[in-house]
Amino acid sequence: MTETSKIEVAIIDYGLGNLFSVRNACHRVGLNAEITSDRGVIDKADAAILPGVGAFDVAMRNLEELDLTRSIKGFVDSGRPFMGICLGLQLLFSESEEFGVSRGLNLIEGRVTKFPTRNNEEKKVKVPQIGWNRIFKSTGSHKAYDNSPLKEIEDGEFMYFVHSFYVEPLSGERTLTKTKYEGIEYCSSIFFRNVFATQFHPEKSGEKGIAIYSKWAESVKKVGSDQC
């Protein structure tokens, strides 16, 4: 692979996900992105994205069959920018209760939980959540927020969600934003070290979502310039 054709972003393909919309968002902000399940391509990329829509246990099985779990963990350990989207956020956690308990990548301690059928007021909860909802800075996350790809996104901005499960980090320090749905408050994004992951879909969230990709691209470009 020549320097001019170097892949900046590896979009990890494990058979589930909104891959092309993610690639299009990367291209819009000037990133050279490739959809791939090739471990060699992933390992050499400046940054990686783990998208996903679907069942947790099927996703983990596909990742294991493609021998991608080690590549993902190694990539995160390398310190290079890593983004998770929707199911890609959930897979980073220790386990999910979807279809029984399934083990995740365990890069973040915590579990993935389904929205209850009724909220604290005993009102029926519509599942899945589909549509626009607001993200709010988590208590104590203001410093992290200002250093994250959400830096230029106003507190309370609307983003696009499609999900039936949500994450519960064991440590609140991992939580970047929270969202309320049907009276239930949950973690809607996380940020720690080189890992940024969202329950919402930035690539489906209009210009505000593209602004998130643009800020994330700055960290990707920095990796590329450091390697020159």
For 77-97, how does the pLDDT look when each residue is reduced to its tens digit (9 = 90+)?
Answer: 999 999 999 999 999 999 999
CATH number, domain of 90, equals 3.40.50.880
The residue annotated as part of the active site, out of 8, 98, 157, 203, is 203
**pLDDT score at 1:** 34
CB atoms within 10 A of CB 12: 29
Specify the number of domains making up the chain: 1
Report the C-alpha gap between 4 and 45 in whole angstroms: 13
For residue 85, give its domain range.
3-226
Q: What's this model's pTM, rounded to 2 decimal places?
A: 0.93
Is 203 one of the catalytic residues?
Answer: yes
pLDDT value, residue 140: 82
Whether 6 shows a pLDDT value over 90: the answer reads: no
Which one, of 138, 211, 199, lies nearest residue 164 by Cα? 199
- The tokens for 228 are 């020159």
The percentage of residues in the chain with a pLDDT greater than 70, rounded to a whole number, is 95
User: pLDDT averaged over the chain?
Assistant: 93
Catalytic status, residue 26: no
Question: Residues 8, 157, 187, 201: which is the catalytic one?
Answer: 201
Residue 127 to residue 182: CA distance in whole angstroms:
10
* Active site (annotated) includes residue 34: no
Show the tokens assigned to 188: 């809607």
Catalytic residue among 26, 86, 98, 157: 86
